[in-house]
Structure 1
Amino acid sequence: MTETTTSNVQRVDRDPLSGLPQSGSKKVMLKGAILSLALLLQSISVTAAVVSSLKQDFPNASAMELQCFVTVPVLGNIVATLIGGRFATRIGKKNLCVIGTLLCFVGGFFPMFIPLLDGQTALRVLAGFGLGLIQPLSASLIVDCFKGKEADTLMGFQSSAVGLGATIISSTIAGIMSFDWHYFYYVYFFALLVTVIVLLFIPNAVNDLGREDATTSEDKLKRRKTPISAYFGMLLQIIFATGYGFYTINLSLAAEETGTITAVQAATVITIISISSLLGGLVFGLVKSFVGMRIGVIAVAMQGAALLIWGNTTSLAAWNIAGVLLGVGFCWFMPYVNILVNEHTDPSISAQTTSYAFFGNSVGSFIPPYAFALLGAVTGITSPWKSLNMGAGFMAVVIVLIVIFMVNDKKKTAAKSVTA
């Protein structure tokens, strides 16, 4: 008994939370520094606006090669999602944030100096790897450093910060493209700025979070099995991200194909998406309080409607409306999935189940160019513009799966109530 008590005291003495600011401006800056990580999470996908401009320098490149400029970096993201947790416990979470943001800068900016498209795409994998390292940390550090309502509030801000970062980066790219698209790579100096913010305002004590394994054998025996909802959430993310990816890889090319919407205007539409995502995230909790988990169906339906509008109209006004639908739908779907995979979990497995959702999204984000090529070979539809209707088809599949899952879950709940 004495040994156990002593061990517990030692753990309290080594509690890294004691090294974090408890109040005042330093605590505010810590929150801001953690939230700054989320600003970078869309820095790969929003570069879709330059895909059509790449054709100027690489006229012989195929549509898939141009699309891979955006999607191949996701390979680095997938790998980092799988191994990043192990790095965090060995080298420290603050250190991992610094490494991730620096890799984002290197992989985003230095392709500017590579004359080959394949070389640029390959180097951008480093940016994807860096984002994969900081993606889970942008959320887990909030749970690590803050508790209760404070943590809940910051999680909402984190979702909005993703949209804010996409807005800042995409609008900057749009501005640069109106001058000379070749300089859009400079937008990745924003990652270097986040690196400095992390170094200055996240205490070194954060490196000790999670380093000591305080889990006893008894705690390990109490760990719950991973619920089916976690695997279902991962499946939803794969299908959803694939359909969403048809917008990512083809919107700029589709705009050029219409003959009435320019690449610069398409970049502006992407900015509208980012702004809508930012604002929509602020009201997610309020909307969910009225519609419950049906918000998943609503969110995906908005995505599908946006893709159909893009794939069947040539009006810039209609494209802007679709941008609003897609932005709001996206920022509602992501927290919906995170809630879904954690509905039947406890703290011992919540991080693991949430990682399934991130992994599914990364895998789905990599698939679109190949899905586009395969479906094009089967259907004969090789138009980037009309392919957006295929993306809407993926959204329809997601809706059907959610409805089936909700009905099945309701039946199980009713059966348990009768048995009880």
Structure 2
Amino acid sequence: MSEQKYGLVTKMAVLSVALLLFTSASTTPALGAIAKAFPDVSPDTIKQIASLPSLMMIVGSLLTGQLERFMKKKTILYMAMTIQFLGGIIPAFFGDMTFILICRAIFGIGYGMVFPLASSLIADLFEGQERDSLMGLKSAVGAVAGVVFQMVGAYLTIISWRHTFFSFLLIIPIFLMIVCKLPEPEKKAAPKPADGTSQKLLTASTWYICILNLLYNVLQFSFMTNMAIVMAESKIGNAVQAGMVLTAFTAAAFVAGLLFGKISLLLRRFTIALAVGLVGLSFLILLNVNTYTMFLVAGAIFGLGFGIYNPAITLLVIGSAHKSAATRALSYFVALLGVGQFLSPITLSFITKIIGLKGVLAAWTVAAPTLLIAAVVLILVIAFSKPQEAKTASMYD
């Protein structure tokens, strides 16, 4: 596939899968309203509405990695979208907090099944610079979906907190696009087992990347879980304004996704460090502002870092494994990502209690300096390590 094989319509179908990755964003602006509707439920339990799908995403992503061995990818995708839709929309009609959390767990399984497929389908159908550009566009398209889902969810919350779950009806047109226009990718053969080759489908680099990304997500996911609650308790904004901050984040992520090819070409090995630094900077700003405008600015900076980080880290994971094991590598990557996101409120709550931090800003007080220090360390390590241009280039081919 050295020559262009698929046209614009196919690219649109492939990128439409990325729309499903932001469906969980629709409930985030409603967390404050849900907390008011359930005053006897602890804030940590309310946060599980956002973080529980990340835990079940582990199950879903690992399931995809196993199903892909004997099922077609489009069949797996159909299953995933069905599970995602049912788990997402049922709480709109009935259920107490326990039932809502069960539905969110079901939604998380479907969400997790989609996650590795969104990137592996690009890796399967495209190569070289075309693949890298589409990986950046995947983040950009996902950001647009984030704007839509977040704002729809926020405005529906004004009517009733249950109405926010009706936003999952938007999955239906995405499903139809995928059914009609997405081709089934060719299955890549694994290398013949010889001299230990079969043990190198997933390399040590694959696991290093996955583990570091887990730690990163413990910190960065606190932006999602805490934003609506911080703004509500600070009396700075309602669910719609919290949704606007998250929209600023996704809009900036869209821009970063569009420019990812040029950014990565310019910064090369320092791209990841820039992304981590921008996310750390956004948390630092959030610790020192008390106006709605500055919340928007912080959200936009977070989005730039988020939009640069995701395609860069995904390409590293794909490049670290054999082509036949790309989906499997991504399934483990997504699983550990889900671990990080699920453990985010639990871990940060534990850390803040240990060091004596209190209040709704406590988690961000930990995240800001940790990420900024990590960005500086990355810059120093990269600057003083020997460049491996040939190896790096091969990871993207």
Report the AA paired with residue 392 of structure 1.
Answer: A
**Number of aligned residue pairs:** 387
Matches within 5 A, 1:218-297: 221=197, 224=200, 226-297=202-273
Structure-1 separation of matches of 2:381 and 2:325: 21
The residue that corresponds to 2:72 in the other structure is 92
Structure-2 separation of matches of 1:226 and 1:183: 43
Contact in 1 for aligned 2:83/2:110 (Cα 8 Å): yes
Structure-2 separation of matches of 1:348 and 1:141: 12
Report whether the alignment pairs 1:361 with 2:341: no
- The 3 A distance-change label for structure 1 pair 214 and 290 is closer
Matches within 5 A, 1:98-177: 98-177=78-157
The residue that corresponds to 1:180 in the other structure is 160
Instruction: Report which stretch shifted further, 359-368 or 372-381.
Output: 372-381
Instruction: Report which stretch shifted further, 157-166 or 255-264.
Output: 255-264
Contact in 2 for aligned 1:40/1:166 (Cα 8 Å): no
Deviations 1:272-318 (A, max 9, x none): 11111011111122122222221222111111111122222111111
Report the AA paired with residue 337 of structure 1.
Answer: I
Report the AA paired with residue 75 of structure 2.
Answer: N
Report the AA paired with residue 79 of structure 1.
Answer: V
The residue that corresponds to 1:200 in the other structure is 180
Report the AA paired with residue 322 of structure 1.
Answer: A
The residue that corresponds to 1:71 in the other structure is 51
Structure-2 separation of matches of 1:191 and 1:104: 9
Contact in 2 for aligned 1:34/1:141 (Cα 8 Å): yes
Matches within 5 A, 1:44-59: 44-59=24-39
Query: Among residues 7, 10, 19, which one is paired with 1:39 in the alignment?
Result: 19
Any stretches of 5+ residues in structure 1 without a counterpart?
1-16, 414-420
Say which SS state the counterpart of residue 72 (structure 1) adopts: helix
Structure-2 separation of matches of 1:358 and 1:388: 24
Structure-1 separation of matches of 2:39 and 2:351: 24
Deviation at 1:322, TM superposition (A): 0.5
Moved beyond 6 Å, runs of 4+ = none
Report the AA paired with residue 246 of structure 2.
Answer: I
Contact in 1 for aligned 2:132/2:315 (Cα 8 Å): no
**Percent identity of paired positions between Structure 1 and Structure 2:** 22
Structure-2 separation of matches of 1:103 and 1:167: 23
Instruction: Report which stretch shifted further, 145-154 or 63-72.
Output: 145-154
Structure-1 separation of matches of 2:204 and 2:189: 27
Structure-2 separation of matches of 1:155 and 1:325: 20
Any stretches of 5+ residues in structure 2 without a counterpart?
390-397
Structure-2 separation of matches of 1:129 and 1:326: 27
Structure-2 separation of matches of 1:397 and 1:337: 19
Query: Among residues 342, 352, 357, which one is paired with 1:381 in the alignment?
Result: 357
Deviations 1:169-203 (A, max 9, x none): 11212232344333111110112222222222235
Deviation at 1:30, TM superposition (A): 2.8
Contact in 1 for aligned 2:59/2:335 (Cα 8 Å): no
Length-normalised TM-score, structure 1: 0.83
Query: Among residues 371, 375, 390, which one is paired with 2:347 in the alignment?
Result: 371
Contact in 2 for aligned 1:102/1:192 (Cα 8 Å): no
Structure-1 separation of matches of 2:41 and 2:204: 43
Contact in 1 for aligned 2:122/2:131 (Cα 8 Å): yes
Contact in 1 for aligned 2:53/2:107 (Cα 8 Å): yes
CA RMSD of aligned residues (A): 2.8
Deviation at 1:162, TM superposition (A): 1.4
Say which SS state the counterpart of residue 41 (structure 1) adopts: helix
- The 3 A distance-change label for structure 1 pair 315 and 47 is same
Report the AA paired with residue 205 of structure 2.
Answer: S
